[in-house]
Amino acid sequence: MLYMVHMVVNIPATVSPAEADEIKRREKAYSQDLQRAGKWRHLWRVVGEYANVSIFDVASNDELHTLLSGLPLFPYMQIKVTPLANHPSSIVQE
């Protein structure tokens, strides 16, 4: 199942720069592992925001929730999930 996920990050000022850097390092490693596994299919930065739009390809809502809640930045994110379906006019069908 494909999902479009919009993530907005807001790390509070109470998190030290060193701690924020460590969280971001773990976030990068985790997200890259999911990309290599084919679960996180696309990742785009939203211009002018500390945010991204991503496409996930997972088996279920529960799997997506597990992956998202495992993100090191998860406690500092606002996340909007949109399930996707094939469009009949698309020349590429997933």
Average pLDDT, the chain: 96
Residue type, 83: P
Q: What percent of the chain has pLDDT over 90?
A: 96
Mean pLDDT, residues 21-47 taken together:
98
- Cα(85)–Cα(55) distance, rounded to whole angstroms? 12
Instruction: Report pLDDT digits (tens) over 6-17.
Output: 999 999 999 999
The domains found in the chain, sorted by start residue, are 2-84 (3.30.70.1060)
Q: Which of 61, 87, 47, 86 is nearest to 5 (CA)?
A: 61
Q: What is the model's pTM?
A: 0.91
